[in-house]
């Protein structure tokens, strides 16, 4: 099917890569649960499909959809967010190269660069990417090959200026990569702001239902120094691809991303406002609050503030643990971005791996992934948990 014009975000999310099945007219294309493909004579491939590590139509459909929703040229789908990150870093970096990374990124990203790539001689500097001077100072001309940005950051919800960082990276000859997992392309379009590569844990908002683990890379331009071709080769040769069924679930989730993000944002705003000013709460970290230091920038580079809210409890680590164990509707679990609300204690859960590093998370922080349940029920749960402190 052709989309008139380029289509709006929701139209692309629903239709890109999702042409109906020509043999039956089935509106939803079949899930191609196959590992291999019959050849019409040796080397006679149908549409290039040879073996499912190299390509599978259900994965192709997801990859087209991913490129369309991020406004990029090419999408690649992987078995997890970290698999996607690793494929990109392995493609781009060599021993001795240097990475500048935010000090408040997903703990697993920091661990991947520090421990896996570090073991092969890749060096890194950890800085606050919301402070452009720190980023400029950390860049080693000629050696810094990647500038890794996560905004809003995890879990402190700092906002970094993507357009300004893209400029700094371009001048330094470093690849500017934005992890867009927290905002999702429904609320933030890093490629339009100058980023060269967008990374996702599709496990989170894109999948959206906490039922599939996956990751993605989306490239701004197809011919970027052969970057797409080389990363596609890494995907094929190292093999961390998504399965057809995982790709199907992710595609299914993406179709409702736009409406889900609207509701996530509304619910999170209401919860952030309720928490504000409560005596047990020292700070509410949510970019939708005018008091948030990144509010004006977020209002400029995002079209909504998203579903993630972090709370800095006045009673420190003990109060944070107690709050995280007191909610009922907000279930205590790692991960985020699903329709159901979750509460997480980063310093012992998602960010336990960065304890003792510059990316360590304060013990007083609790992170909420605000779901799309009825907001009154969510507010009541927050109230009863606060009352127990
Ligand atoms: C979860 C997450 C990742 C890692 O993705 P996996 O799918 O768990 O491998 C990367 N970045 C962010 C921001 C995340 O939340």
Gap from CA of 183 to ligand 1 centroid (Å): 13
For the stretch 106-160, pLDDT in tens is 989 999 999 999 999 999 999 999 999 999 999 999 999 999 999 999 899 999 9
361-375: buried (b, 16+ CB within 10 Å) or exposed (e) per residue? bebbbbbbbbbbbeb
User: Quick one: which H or E segment has residue 100?
Assistant: strand 98-102
Q: Alpha helix locations (H) across the chain?
A: 9-15, 57-70, 81-92, 107-111, 132-138, 162-172, 227-238, 244-254, 257-275, 295-301, 316-324, 375-387
User: What is the reported pLDDT for 1?
Assistant: 57
- Residue 357 pLDDT more than 90? no
- Contact assessment for residue 341 and residue 370, using Cβ atoms and an 8 Å cutoff: yes
Tell me the pTM.
Answer: 0.96
Place of tokens 């800095």: 312
User: What is the reported pLDDT for 4?
Assistant: 66
> Is residue 135 classed as helix, strand or coil in its secondary structure?
helix
Could you tell me if the CB of 215 is within 6 A of ligand 1? yes
Active-site annotation holder among 104, 128, 161, 179 = 179
Which of 203, 249, 346 has most ligand 1 atoms within 8 Å of its beta carbon, as the pocket-test mutant?
Answer: 203
Tell me how far the alpha carbon of residue 239 is from its chain's centroid.
21
Kindly give, in sequence order, each residue whose CB lies less than 8 Å from that of residue 82, ignoring residues fewer than 6 positions away.
Answer: 108, 109, 112, 201, 215
User: What is the reported pLDDT for 19?
Assistant: 94
* Two tokens, residue 14: 């629903």
For the stretch 54-81, pLDDT in tens is 999 999 999 999 999 999 999 999 999 9
Going by pLDDT thresholds of 50, 70 and 90, the confidence category of residue 222 is: confident
Long-range CB contact pairs, 285-291, < 8 A, 24+: 285/155, 285/156, 285/157, 285/309, 285/310, 285/311, 285/312, 285/365, 286/157, 286/310, 287/152, 287/157, 287/159
For the stretch 11-40, pLDDT in tens is 999 999 999 999 999 999 999 999 999 999
Could you tell me if the CB of 78 is within 6 A of ligand 1? no
**What's the Rg (C-alpha) of the chain?**
21
Q: Which residues pair with 342 in a beta bridge?
A: 331, 369
Q: Which residues pair with 179 in a beta bridge?
A: 150, 199
Could you tell me if the CB of 201 is within 6 A of ligand 1? yes
Q: Which residues pair with 369 in a beta bridge?
A: 308, 342
Q: Compute the mean pLDDT over every residue in the chain, rounded to the nearest whole number.
A: 96
Going by pLDDT thresholds of 50, 70 and 90, the confidence category of residue 351 is: confident
Which of 106, 160, 242, 253 has most ligand 1 atoms within 8 Å of its beta carbon, as the pocket-test mutant?
Answer: 106
**Calpha distance 341→363 (Å, rounded):** 21
Pairing mode of beta strands 281-285, 365-369 = unpaired
Going by pLDDT thresholds of 50, 70 and 90, the confidence category of residue 317 is: very high
Q: Which of 42-51, 196-205, 215-224 shows the lowest mean pLDDT across its residues?
A: 215-224
Could you tell me if the CB of 204 is within 6 A of ligand 1? yes
């Amino acid at each position: 099917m052709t989309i008139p014009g380029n289509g709006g975000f929701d139209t692309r999310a629903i239709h890109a890569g999702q042409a109906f099945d020509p043999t039956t007219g089935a509106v939803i294309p079949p899930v191609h649960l196959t590992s291999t493909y019959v050849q019409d004579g040796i080397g006679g491939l149908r549409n290039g499909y040879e073996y499912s590590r190299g390509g599978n139509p259900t994965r192709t459909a997801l990859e087209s959809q991913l490129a369309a929703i991020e406004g990029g040229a090419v999408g690649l789908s992987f078995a997890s967010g970290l698999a996607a990150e690793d494929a990109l870093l392995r493609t781009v970096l060599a021993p001795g190269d240097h990475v500048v990374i935010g000090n408040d990124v997903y703990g697993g990203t920091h661990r991947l660069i520090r421990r896996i790539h570090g073991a092969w001689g890749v060096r890194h500097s950890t800085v606050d990417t919301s402070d452009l001077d720190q980023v400029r100072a950390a860049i080693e001309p000629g050696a810094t090959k990647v500038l890794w940005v996560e905004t809003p950051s995890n879990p402190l919800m700092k906002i970094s200026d993507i357009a300004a960082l893209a400029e700094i990276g371009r001048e330094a000859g470093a690849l500017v990569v934005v992890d867009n997992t927290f905002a999702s392309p429904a609320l933030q379009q890093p490629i339009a702001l100058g980023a060269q590569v967008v990374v996702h844990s599709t496990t989170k908002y894109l999948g959206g239902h906490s039922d599939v683990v996956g990751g993605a890379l989306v490239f701004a331009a197809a011919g970027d120094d052969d970057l797409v071709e080389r990363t596609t080769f890494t995907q094929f040769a190292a093999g961390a691809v998504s399965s057809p069924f995982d790709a199907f679930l992710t595609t299914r989730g993406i179709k409702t991303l736009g409406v889900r993000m609207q509701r996530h944002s509304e619910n999170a705003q209401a919860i952030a406002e309720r928490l504000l000013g409560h005596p047990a709460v020292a700070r509410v970290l949510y970019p939708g609050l005018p008091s948030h230091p990144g509010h004006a920038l977020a209002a400029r580079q995002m079209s909504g503030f998203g579903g993630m809210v972090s709370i800095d409890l006045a009673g420190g680590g003990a109060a944070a643990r107690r709050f995280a164990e007191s909610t009922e509707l907000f279930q205590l679990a790692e991960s985020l971005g699903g329709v159901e609300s979750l509460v997480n204690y980063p310093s012992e859960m998602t960010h336990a791996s960065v304890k003792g590093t510059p990316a360590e998370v304060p013990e007083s922080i609790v992170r909420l992934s605000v779901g799309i349940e009825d907001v009154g029920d969510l507010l009541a749960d927050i109230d009863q948990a606060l009352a127990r402190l």
